[in-house]
Structure 1
């Protein structure tokens, strides 16, 4: 059975939207998609910071920026782990692939940016929702109809 995409949706209270720390909002967004790894949040945050500057980055540049961001956070007491934990080139590529697979990020000429060079909310609305979430919901609806038919609950 070929898996086309995997997202675990979580829903939080709207009170969570009141968080003032931008990093906490990034973590909330990713937690809403079932992702709770700090490395994913770091990568997403680097993409956000560079979107503001209009810069597209290679995976190596993203990794280097995450290292610098973690060093700065460590000095401020906001990061208590090892600077390069979970930051192998391979792990960074795995997270970038995750973002690409969910259509949030694309890569052209080895440079990563939000799909369609849009803002993240626009990329989500244009690509993630219709291609991943809505398709998943439609599949589940079809699956339930097949289950009902298989158990003799509905006749066509």
Structure 2
């Protein structure tokens, strides 16, 4: 799994690096969110996109919320995981509205990072599959004229082994 890890605290970068290495991930570490979106776009352009972005919420210059908003505004389909000690209900609701896929509560260990990476990847895969299914259904409906009676008959034919 390829991970972009963003945190402005040296100790957190060191810990993150150790966790990601232990998990067998390839990674890029950034000390600020300022260049995060450029890094994500560059990786996509090079044909080697990140599988997930882990970003600290509170950073001196550009924080995690701004990073997530920028990624979502560009419609980049990458899971974004917030790393934060601020996990009150209102904050969690806000993080979800901004577009974070998951929140990783600090302090955390390697097992929590692994769980977050796996869960974020699963959620993104489900989102992409749902989007593809919706697009296929829309294309099919447009092609057939979207006739509900035809859809119902096709379903009955399949159930009877005729389709």
Answer yes or no: same fold by TM over 0.5. no
**Higher Rg:** 2
Higher share in strand: 2
TM range (shorter): 0.3 to 0.5
Higher share in helix: 1
